Amino acid sequence: MPHVDIKCFPRDLNDEQKTALAADIAEVIIRHFNSKDASVSVALQQVQQQDWKAQVWDTEIGPKMDELIKKPGYSM
């Protein structure tokens, strides 16, 4: 049951763009995990730039750096 949780700075995406993004991500997950489409879920949470450190870096990136399979090219 792969679940992808995307956090990003706010983007002006309409519903069609969000649907296309989720479909593209699901396609990659299905291929690499040999999953079924019905098993994949994708969430998109837009985080204000001034809140990024507290809401994302300090809780999900910095403390879990050793677990990341793709590390960011920035630090905070």
CA 65 to CA 54: how far, in whole Å?
A: 16
| Nearest one of 27, 29, 20 to 1, comparing CA atoms | 29
Catalytic residue among 2, 10, 63, 72: 2
Active site residue 2: yes
Q: Which active-site residues does the annotation give? A: 2
